[in-house]
Structure 1
């Protein structure tokens, strides 16, 4: 029974969200305007929001009070998202999937304003790097709202519509696992976060670039396995060194965003790579990202390998498709990617385990790795106290067989 029919049967009438309308006094008060903007962003009432936007931009110009009120609401809601664990790249990725280019630019400017209000040494290095990668800088002088609207060639009405949509997204963002120190908060410890050294990263990136460019799946997977071997060797050296450290870096969290379609199959591939590199992963399907928990250098490895393997798996799926009607269906491609992820995960895990077994002192190393794994499991349980196992429904045996065969053709002997 539909909602309207249920209301008729029970005698209840639908009550729309109340329109956000401001009187003359409120339109001159930035604080009340900020409250109205936040309320409009929180409502699911397109018609009411339209009337509110028309009221703020009715003259075709954004008044000084409206400009100040909008910027006040924007700063508050961005700070709310930051407090909920959203990093600059996470905000960008979520907005890229749900907003237009104008709103995305507005959000980037908001992040620049947020950083500008803090001392440079009060901003986590990951925050700084991600903001720099996004080009988030304070490029304007004076009030931001009219400068941004002029730069984007937006009317006052169009600008306000984009702002409300941006703030609506910020209000709907869920709380995330706390992966980094919040900007402005006391930094953890005095030493910078440890990452994989640039020499090792350069070698791994070179192998993965070759894997992505070759037309031969067997060569691609051999190169990927070699990259896994290098990262495992680096992790072994790091674990042995950290055994003498007074307090190792705590595990943290990083998000890997996935593009549609087949996000569940792609999430499985990320999970397989995470497990091969001593990390834990969880898929947030509603937003399309995987959160990976582990030590920072291991997260670097997962990020590099998973991103490359997603490219390789998609290319292999397309290039090795049989000339059949089923091979062009969504069911086939989803089954292919799922089988590919499962088999490649097994082979990466085997490559990592072989590297550990052939290390100079595996008897010393294995207890240290077990301690490391326990720290990661404990951090994962803290971030995600309740989890739910989710299966993947497959409807193409042909796709599964083809994906498994494509993965099995790889020669993973180490070079």
Structure 2
């Protein structure tokens, strides 16, 4: 008689058909099945967490498949991994604790189906770059970020006002002030970090939601480039990896999130009333144009700040070089994305106009 553990190994290797495995496990002893599934899932999650996957991004990849039961399994696994290990990086733990968890009622066959299917999918995921230390490992010491936090709190407050107002001129003023603060703080950080050799570039993965993922990834890249960062878009996982110095990356995430809210509001306001295909073309073209124009505006604001500190150009160039080298070490063989098509002149013009409304100078 085949044991539950052997059945699970068989379906993961492809030697046993998925439907046959669900049936076999459904009639086997409940205790043995649950123990075998728990052990297999623990092993799979442990491999991925050690291999660089963080709770939020693993949950994101799984949740995109559309089965909420599997999202709950990831959330529970992340919490269990944190509880079973010491030390745990506070950022890793915070992600685990913030994952959405719901008590869902499901019959046994639905749960078995979800667990087995998740095991197969987890087995397909490769290791990725370790950006946060996994549970049980110690993070390297980083520079004090209290000053960064104060600046980012001010930026966050300004962007919240930009998102909440219905008046484009007000949104422009708040967003412009936020970018000025970011650019000025980045320059000040470069100045104070000149003699601190331990300060090095960092990286963070930022999720990009569907639909129109590639266009939104383009907006994230435009924001990153204007703030001394670089991005690599991984469409198969739904995230971009942003490389830069800590304060710059945090600012990029804040500005990108805020501009996306403003873009969505303007896009819905201006889109054509009828025609599914027409609306889709409009939205894609809108987001491409919005990204291009926002990139121009952000770069303009950053240049204005740099021009007041021309003596820092060698330092800034060196930091840009460090960021590029960090990106090349992690992704030595990137492929330049193809140019995005513009299928709607109406969407293009509306996107540029919306970017001007959210003008950042």
Conserved in 1, the CA contact under 8 Å of 2:271 and 2:279?
Answer: no
Deviation at 1:298, TM superposition (A): 1.2
Query: CA offsets per residue over residues 78-97 of structure 1, 9 Å max, x none?
Result: 01211332111101111221
The aligned residue for residue 11 of structure 2 is: 40
- Cα distance in 2 for partners of 1:62, 1:221 equals 61
Deviation at 1:168, TM superposition (A): 2.3
Q: 1:283 to 1:55 in 2, by over 3 A?
A: same
Deviation at 1:173, TM superposition (A): 2.1
The aligned residue for residue 379 of structure 1 is: 326
Q: Secondary structure at the match of 1:329?
A: helix
Partner residue of 1:242 out of 190, 193, 208? 193
The aligned residue for residue 70 of structure 2 is: 103
The aligned residue for residue 348 of structure 2 is: 400
Query: CA offsets per residue over residues 311-365 of structure 1, 9 Å max, x none?
Result: 111111121336686995211111111001100111011111112222xxx1332
The aligned residue for residue 97 of structure 2 is: 132
Map 1:73-92 onto structure 2 (within 5 A). Answer: 73-92=40-59
Conserved in 1, the CA contact under 8 Å of 2:202 and 2:243?
Answer: yes
The aligned residue for residue 279 of structure 1 is: 229
Conserved in 2, the CA contact under 8 Å of 1:103 and 1:163?
Answer: yes
Map 1:159-308 onto structure 2 (within 5 A). Answer: 159-188=111-140, 190-191=141-142, 194=145, 197-248=148-199, 250-308=200-258
Deviation at 1:135, TM superposition (A): 6.7
Conserved in 2, the CA contact under 8 Å of 1:321 and 1:327?
Answer: no
Does structure 1 residue 51 correspond to structure 2 residue 16? no
The aligned residue for residue 154 of structure 1 is: 106
- Cα distance in 2 for partners of 1:100, 1:93 equals 12
After TM superposition, the score normalised by the length of structure 2 is 0.91
Conserved in 2, the CA contact under 8 Å of 1:221 and 1:412?
Answer: yes
Q: Name the Cα RMSD after superposition.
A: 2.5
Q: 1:219 to 1:289 in 2, by over 3 A?
A: same
Deviation at 1:156, TM superposition (A): 2.7
Conserved in 1, the CA contact under 8 Å of 2:230 and 2:324?
Answer: yes
Q: 1:96 to 1:135 in 2, by over 3 A?
A: closer
After TM superposition, the score normalised by the length of structure 1 is 0.80
| Structure 1: 5+ residue stretches without partners | 1-22, 28-32, 137-147
Q: Secondary structure at the match of 2:171?
A: helix
The aligned residue for residue 112 of structure 1 is: 79
- Cα distance in 1 for partners of 2:147, 2:26 equals 51
Query: CA offsets per residue over residues 223-270 of structure 1, 9 Å max, x none?
Result: 22221111122212211111121421x322212212222111111100
Query: Highest CA radius of gyration, 1 or 2?
Result: 1
**Number of residue pairs matched by the alignment:** 360
The aligned residue for residue 37 of structure 2 is: 70
Q: 1:316 to 1:116 in 2, by over 3 A?
A: same
Q: Secondary structure at the match of 2:243?
A: strand
